[in-house]
Amino acid sequence: MANEILLKLNSKKISGKLIFIKNKTKHQIHINFKFPKANQIKKAIFKTNGETYPVISDKSTLNVPGSNGIILIKYKNNKTQSLKLRSASTPNFLIIHESCKKDGLKIRKLVKTSSNAFAGLYCVFSKQNDKLNLHFSMDASAIWYGSNLFESSGKGSRWKLFNIIINEQHKDSKIAWGSKRKKLGLSLNYTELIKLAEHDKAPSFYVGLRFSQLSHSQASESDSSLFTLIDANFSHSFTDNLQAKIGGQFLLSKSQTGEQESPKYLGINLEGNYFFTKSLYSGVGFESLSFSTSQGLTTIDYEAPMLIFGFNRAFKLLNLNMAISYSKPFSSEIEGNKLNLILSLKNFSFAKNWKSKIQIENLKIEGDDPMESGFTSLSIEYGF
């Protein structure tokens, strides 16, 4: 594995790995290795270069912040132990977390060599304030050589925080650390993140036209209608992970084959979504749909809770969103279900506030008089 590292603990060879551990708001790199008496430890510290650092222990492992030093352990029975830790050099001394692997952010090592002065980079991207928070942490035994980025926090410690404003252009920003014999470093280029951030900053309110074709079948009869609707929706992000949405579709005009005094179409949607990653989300909601068929012979009133699964991806030219929702009424008065597939394109580089949406819906009503309705819709919306 890329994060494996060879160690010597009191001259005994063991294997470990480099991992990130979150302490409050700090993401820091540590050496993790198995230690049989870890669950008996009361307190442990790591001593290197005249400084001491806490060692994190769990049931079976130790997490040490440095590669060369002394681990001082106090057990629950008040016995003490001193262990000498040394690590071998590895070409994989820099660990870049998955959170940093995104379009627009380029990170590379400046020196192709092997070293035991390990370091880690963890990224927190905030869409709300257009910031990229870089958590850099290095081996507690290593030497800090500096950076041309502004240190927002962590001066004098092995952990550093760099707050990058996305709408500012920076090329080849550098972070340097290492040992007395060997200087190491990494380079960051995030100019392209400007374009990425612009795609992520979608308007909160959209309004536009939806052209929807209804195909309806009931018993041995079938008909179709073409609806022109006003489509409006509002979304709000409470955090980078939590988002709420409300939307509505209201009848503007309808083509029909028979006489009908009051054509009908009204849709309401409420959603709450949680983003597991920047791209993947899931949520719950409630939808209400009321419409009449082309000849006005049948009116459908459908209300049900729904489950939502979605995927987002930002490209240089546009943002792509795919979502699937499924709803089924709790009430015994209506038996059926509704499946909805949405493909949405928005934040075009040539028309930033416009969004187009293709939507396919299938509604089934079961019971003594079963029916099935299908909607195929194309929406064009403008965001504010």
Domains (range + CATH), the chain: 1-200 (no CATH), 202-383 (2.40.128.100)
**H-run or E-run covering 298:** none
What single letter denotes the amino acid at residue 367? G
Do residues 72 and 54 touch, judged by C-beta distance below 8 A?
A: no
Question: pTM higher than 0.75, yes or no?
Answer: no
Of 211, 188, 208, 147, give the one whose Cα is nearest residue 382.
208
Q: Over the chain (384 residues), what is each successive 10-residue block's mean pLDDT? A: 87 94 91 94 95 93 96 96 95 92 81 93 75 91 93 92 72 87 87 49 80 81 83 87 92 66 80 88 93 69 92 76 90 78 77 85 82 90 85
Other beta carbons within 10 Å of 287:
19
Dist. CA 65–CA 88, nearest whole Å: 15
Measure the CA dihedral 59/63/67/69, to 10°: -70
* Residue 264 DSSP code: -
User: What is the torsional sign of CA 254, 258, 261, 263?
Assistant: negative
Of 345, 355, 352, 356, give the one whose Cα is nearest residue 322.
345
Report helix, strand or coil for 10: coil
User: What is the torsional sign of CA 188, 192, 194, 197?
Assistant: negative
The structure tokens listed for 7 are: 């160690």
Task: Output b/e per residue, 11-26; b: 16+ Cβ within 10 A.
Answer: eeeeebebbbeeeeeb
Q: What does the pLDDT read at residue 199?
A: 41
Dist. CA 295–CA 257, nearest whole Å: 6
Q: Give residues with Cβ within 8 angstroms of 259, minimum separation 6.
A: 295, 296
**H-run or E-run covering 182:** none
Dist. CA 174–CA 241, nearest whole Å: 30
Q: What does the pLDDT read at residue 331?
A: 66
Dist. CA 326–CA 152, nearest whole Å: 45
Burial grade of 161 (CB within 10 A; 0-12, 13-18, 19 or more): buried
**H-run or E-run covering 166:** none
Across the strands, what pairs with 333?
none
- Please state the length of the chain: 384
Q: What does the pLDDT read at residue 192?
A: 54
Q: What does the pLDDT read at residue 197?
A: 44
Of 124, 195, 137, give the one whose Cα is nearest residue 164.
124
